[in-house]
Amino acid sequence: MNAVASLKGYDLGSRVVSYDESDAILYALCVGAQPGQLPLVYERDLHVLPTFGLGLGLWAVEEAGELGAYDRLKSLHAAQQLTVHAPFPRSGKIEMRAHVTDVWDKGSAATVDIAVECEQFTATYAIHLPGSGGWGGERAPSTPRVDLEDAPFRADTYIAANLPALYRLTGDLHPVHIDPEVSSGYGFERPILHGLCTLGIAARTVAEAAGAQPWELRELRARFAAPVLPDATLTVRAQASGTEVDFDARIDTTGVLSGGHASF
């Protein structure tokens, strides 16, 4: 059997991850929270953004990469899902469990789905593996597309040149976001922004379209359609039906997040 295909069902074990209020505030600032948004940046009444948990679960992605079935330095984050079960404490320790739920054959590539579960959330990280497909396995189901060309909600966020370096301090340490040699090996002209940072910005932003607070997020999914090079403006487009929001994100005319959906 293909080495990557054999990962399906693999138990990645458990991990206890700790954080404090400063970690949660740093994350909120990295995804665009403003100084006046006190519930996100002030420990007095702190609300932890649910997407903060996605960074806490990255140990499982690293654990899967260490198994040796593929070169983790050639992998890319393809899509993300998040279901929130309970609010995050302002600080503390969270015990997580993880396993490989699915492996999909895309012909010239493969996708590995890694699920992380804990009391607060369940997250699934879809990891794209170039050159690892072609064994005749099942293809991943397609996601319906929503046309957002005339979406009524739009919000712009400037992606500063130093944001990838800052976001690494949240624990997302893949060298493609800081090392020019590594990013060049991927075909990028310079280090790119973390997909989870782009998604965190979008999730925080589209809460407004639903008339909700960003910490009230309950469900989230999106695909990473293209890399984000810093020193550019990210435009999030959204349309809401009550507390359900369809969204995407673009840099100029290039879609960087597609198939986005959030529930609050």
CATH of the domain at 54: 3.10.129.10
140 located within any domain: no
Residue 198 and residue 54 in contact, taking contact as beta carbons nearer than 8 Å: no
Reply yes or no on whether 174 is catalytic.
Answer: no
Are residues 182 and 120 located together in one domain of the fold?
Answer: no
Q: How far apart are CA 105 and CA 216, in angstroms?
A: 35
Are residues 199 and 107 located together in one domain of the fold?
Answer: no
The pTM of the full predicted model, rounded to 2 decimals, is 0.95
User: Would you state the pLDDT for residue 146?
Assistant: 86
Are residues 31 and 91 located together in one domain of the fold?
Answer: yes
Q: Active site residue: 114, 192, 201, 251, which one?
A: 192
Which single residue is written with the structure tokens 């890399």?
Answer: 227
User: Would you state the pLDDT for residue 207?
Assistant: 98
Q: Active site residue: 53, 195, 200, 260, which one?
A: 195
Q: Active site residue: 172, 194, 251, 260, which one?
A: 172
146 located within any domain: no
Are residues 186 and 111 located together in one domain of the fold?
Answer: no
- Smallest CA-to-CA distance from 259 within 68, 131, 126 is with 126
75 located within any domain: yes
* Residue numbers of the chain with a pLDDT score lower than 70: 1
Fill in the DSSP letter of residue 117: E
Are residues 126 and 158 located together in one domain of the fold?
Answer: no
Reply yes or no on whether 195 is catalytic.
Answer: yes
Are residues 226 and 184 located together in one domain of the fold?
Answer: yes
136 located within any domain: no
User: Would you state the pLDDT for residue 72?
Assistant: 80
Q: What angle do CA 121, 77, 211 make, to 5 degrees?
A: 50
Are residues 30 and 108 located together in one domain of the fold?
Answer: yes
Q: How far apart are CA 257 and CA 250, in angstroms?
A: 7
Angstrom distances, CA of residue 49 to CA of 4, 111, 159, 230: 33, 27, 19, 23
Q: Active site residue: 99, 177, 194, 261, which one?
A: 177
Q: What angle do CA 111, 8, 95 make, to 5 degrees?
A: 95
| Two tokens, residue 164 | 């990838």
Domain of 119, in residue numbers: 5-130
CA 264 to chain centre: 17
- Residue 16: how many CB atoms within 10 A of its CB? 9
171 located within any domain: yes
Mean pLDDT of the chain: 95
Q: How far apart are CA 77 and CA 70, in angstroms?
A: 14
Residue 233 and residue 185 in contact, taking contact as beta carbons nearer than 8 Å: no
Q: How far apart are CA 225 and CA 173, in angstroms?
A: 21
Are residues 79 and 119 located together in one domain of the fold?
Answer: yes
Q: How many domains in the chain?
A: 2
User: Would you state the pLDDT for residue 1?
Assistant: 56
